[in-house]
Amino acid sequence: MIRVLLADDQPLIRTGLRAMLDEDDIEVVAEAADGAEAVRLAVEHRPDLVLMDIRMPVLDGVTATARILGELRLTDVHVVILTTYDLDEYVYRALRAGASGFVLKDTDPTELVSGLRAVVRGDALLSPVVTRRLIESFTAAQPTGRPSLPVHRLTGREREVLDLLVTGLANDEVAEHLVISPATAKTHVSRVLAKLDVRDRAQLVVRAYESGYVAPGRPG
């Protein structure tokens, strides 16, 4: 069962999301009307996933995400940002703060549900093409002297996996590309994330671009 916390200041949006998430394997455990309430309820309920609006009163979604994943270190909680605009600096800041991805508010319900399941499983990046475009747009203008990505920790095979992950490939696609089993691909992915000290795929892509390992416009 995937336990979800909804955080949006508009009751109508929360009602719509609750209806969209009416699935046998998903349970909405709480709803928050502002970022501060989202932080409090995340601590209280320890949900698997927080669906977080980016713009809310009291605390915005970026600050709430940073508190949940940074200050409070709720490492088992995944935050997915709800937004109206895909190329948004606030969304980029939320990804840097630890969010596992973002979805647009007009996303098809079926795509939303399948995407949230993928985030919790950790086997795919939400909207990989859009996510990469967002990250590229805000890392291209960054000054030099960026933090390095410790790729020297990786084996040759793990470097291959890294290069596929930063393009947005899911575990099954990595397995197919490298002609290995899905289970082996999953193991390699877990080791890459651990060795590079990133919590998930979204953080990996952010770090890869910010470090200069991947140049904007030239994935992998």
Same domain, 58 and 103: yes
What ranges make up the beta strands (E) of the chain?
A: 2-7, 26-32, 49-53, 78-83, 101-104
Mark which of 71, 87, 121 sits at the end of a domain: 121
> Is the pTM here over 0.75, yes or no?
yes
pLDDT for 113-163, tens place per residue?
999 999 999 999 998 989 999 998 888 766 555 667 999 999 999 999 999
User: Are residue 92 and residue 157 in the same domain, yes or no?
Assistant: no
Mean pLDDT of 83-107: 92
Strand order in the sheet with 101-104: 26-32, 2-7, 49-53, 78-83, 101-104
Residues 69 and 152 in one domain: no
| Interval 59-77 mean pLDDT | 95
Domain around 186: 146-210
